[in-house]
Amino acid sequence: MATLPRTAKQSSTPTRTSAFDHRPRSDHSFDAGINSSAAWTEHLDRGSLSDDEPADYPELYGQRGLSARALYQFEGKAEFRELTVEAGDRLEVLKQDVGDGWSLVKTEDGKVGLLPTAYYTHTIDFLSAPADSQPISKELSTDTVTPHASPKGNSESELPPLVPQTTGEWPNVPPSFRQRLLGGKTINRFSAFVTSGAEEWVLNGAPAPEDEPAAPNHISHSRFSTTDSVAEDIRLSRLGIGEADRHFVDEGPAWQPKIPEFRVLVHSPSKRSSGLSGAYTVYKVTSLVHSPEKGKPHEEIRSASPIYITVQRRFSHFVVLHTALLRRLPGIALTPLPEKQYAGRFNAAFVEARRGDLERYLDRVVRHPIARYAEVVTSFLGCEDDLEWTRMMPRFLLMRAAGPSFFAHVFHPAFNFDIQDASEVIEKFNNHVRAVGKGVQGLRSTFNRVREARIEMSKAERSLSYSLLSLITAKPSSSAPALGADEEEENASPQLQGLLNNDGAWCWREDCQDCLNLTKAVQKTAETLQSVADLYDDHARRRQLATHEAFKSVAHPYMTYQGIIETHRSTYSRYAEATGNNLNEDVASRCETVLNATMSELDTYHTQKVEDFTSLTKDHLDGEIALYEQMLTRLKAARRTLDPPHLDELGRSPRRPSRFEKDLDRSVNDIEPLPQPCPHVYDSAPMRPVSMAIQGGMGLLLGSSSSGGRTSVLGRLWA
């Protein structure tokens, strides 16, 4: 921690500094109001002042105190001889401890009074007393620190005047002052600007590589132009830097991809058992990589037949991948992994949801221009030998965090962006991603209602189908119960009642060809409506559920890019300081490197946002088109039965009962609940399987009924 600037008078005593990450709280016996006078009035309980008592320590007023600087603004009360100081004021501490956490302090303008000990920090200690100085004639008493009236030998004019003061608010310490006190470092050591290594890089440059001699300063990092790539390769090869650790920024700024994009599929989950770790789920991860050919652009490469590479990975392996990426690529925004699940983790619905989340996670990683060629990614996707991958995992976990070396290996053209726009673009981006996050949350909620509406449409179509069947068969249904029929009519057969003839036609006449044709055509329509209801139900439960899950890939962008925003803002602030009155070209150059990296991340988000929302919109429209095309095909087939010659062919045989007639008394509301997607990591709602398990446990305790009949209590717990 750096100290404040020293005065001209130096001391051999080591400098003492005071931490002030948080505004200190004084002792319980002190506050800014009533209790602040305790130190001054403590003597009143023991007696009054007299001319025989020591007089205000006159030897302290002429003696030079310990140099200090105020950390915070303090507004004291003049009637209690409390000083008013501003953060950064130079002070002289005449007496360190006068009781109750107060010190006797002298300001630059000569005022002497009390100041809380926690509100200043020393910048120089007391010097040794010179040999010719007069010794203190009487030992100072600490029993009281009350100013004594009518000091002997001194007139009141020699004392510092009492200036009327008022108690005000406590403003924050200026950031520039705090940074100077900490050697330019940020107080918040948990901010992304610090944890990513950007601060260390901006202040001190690249650290010396381990197991290698430090490189000279003039080649530790420099800008490059696109024509100097060969020279850079030679220089970096001397430093021993791996190809996967070097990252280039193109004009834009935008990350320069080294390899083309490829697809990753996570599929075929299966349950495995191990004597050490117990049961777990293994997923197959297949990469569809297009073989590169010289001279062909990426678009032509994508059209070629891909190479399939399939490996088997479990969730803990994904955790290793994510951890290694966070350590080696601290300057990029990584989408979070889905949370680890315990309750219901082998449930088929949860396993499928987890599979989709892992696939979306890998898709986001391999779509990032520099993350997809990271060593841990290529090993994770390409190491087909399970034993070899198991041996590699500890090495990835033990790799030291890149920190400032990440930015040291970022190379960009000079003057790659307008520095004046750097501040505006991050504020616009911040507002944009916040608005996108809120909008996507509303979209997810609305889409859930759309899915529920599809279920309601399924119920309505099924209810209409049952009503038509009830009409032509004279059988009551839960959707259209028979009204006004007495007991004798209910027990009589439809043929005796004249509701149907012997051919099952909806007519009281026997051998009525027209009614037979109509009855069979209406039955065909009712069965078609059942298939339409099935389409609505399946669409809401499968296709729209997948789309609903996919919305998580664009949810909470601010939470994902919050670290990038913080790093950009802090770096821009340091750049403004480095290019201001205290010019520092090295710091300014390193700030430009960080800003190139952060703005490249903004470009990556822009590219992925366009791709994501285009894909989501296409997926939804394709699903709706496929749904209504299937409905249209079925409805057209039902419509053709009402026109000749199809209508005439229906009357050649008696009507056979429909397979849906047995369900006429079944309620259309007796269906399974609509499945919901597992929440996003940043959602505030609990994970769905856990909440369902809790609800099931509460049902056992409260004795709730189950629609599935009587089951064992243990069976329900462990099902």
Q: Is residue 621 predicted with pLDDT exceeding 60?
A: yes
Confidence of residue 561 (pLDDT cuts 50, 70, 90): very high
Q: Is residue 54 predicted with pLDDT exceeding 50?
A: no
Cis peptide before 645 (omega within 30 of 0): yes
Question: Angle formed by the axes of helices 557-578 and 419-473, to 10°?
Answer: 170
Q: Is residue 249 predicted with pLDDT exceeding 80?
A: yes
Q: Which structure tokens are listed for 379?
A: 């090993």
pLDDT of residue 618: 97
Mean pLDDT, rounded, for 690-703? 44
Other Cβ atoms less than 10 A from the Cβ of 136: the count is: 12
Residue owning tokens 């010019």: 583
pLDDT of residue 345: 76
* 390 in Cβ contact with 192 (< 8 Å): no
The fold for domain 254-418 equals PX Domain (3.30.1520)
Q: Is residue 361 predicted with pLDDT exceeding 90?
A: yes
* 80 in Cβ contact with 36 (< 8 Å): yes
pLDDT of residue 689: 44
Q: Integer distance in angstroms from the first to the last C-alpha of the chain?
A: 59
pLDDT of residue 192: 87
Q: Is residue 70 predicted with pLDDT exceeding 60?
A: yes
Mean pLDDT, rounded, for 344-357? 87
Q: What percent of the chain has pLDDT over 70?
A: 68
Q: Is residue 44 predicted with pLDDT exceeding 90?
A: no
pLDDT of residue 135: 45
CATH code 3.40.630.10 for 34-176: no
Q: What is the pTM of this model?
A: 0.65
CATH number of 441-482+495-683: 1.20.1270
Other Cβ atoms less than 10 A from the Cβ of 460: the count is: 16
CA distance 369 to 367: 6
Q: Is residue 402 predicted with pLDDT exceeding 50?
A: yes
Q: What's the mean pLDDT when you consider all of the chain?
A: 76
Confidence of residue 5 (pLDDT cuts 50, 70, 90): very low
Task: Name which residue leads in pLDDT, 163 or 339.
Answer: 339
Longest dimension (CA), the chain: 140
What does the pLDDT look like over 130-148, one tens digit per residue? 444 444 443 433 443 334 3
CA distance 54 to 154: 12
Listed by start position, the domains of the chain span: 34-176, 254-418, 441-482+495-683, 686-719
With residue 68 as reference, give the H or E element that holds it.
strand 66-70
Q: Is residue 149 predicted with pLDDT exceeding 50?
A: no
Instruction: Name residues whose C-beta falls within 8 Å of residue 398's C-beta, 6 or more positions apart in sequence.
Output: none
Other Cβ atoms less than 10 A from the Cβ of 117: the count is: 19
What DSSP line would sit under 412-473, residue for residue?
Answer: --TT-S-HHHHHHHHHHHHHHHHHHHHHHHHHHHHHHHHHHHHHHHHHHHHHHHHHHHHHHH
Radius of gyration of the chain (CA): 40
pLDDT of residue 67: 87
Mean pLDDT, rounded, for 147-151? 40
Helix (H, G, I), strand (E, B) or coil at 532: helix
Q: Is residue 462 predicted with pLDDT exceeding 60?
A: yes
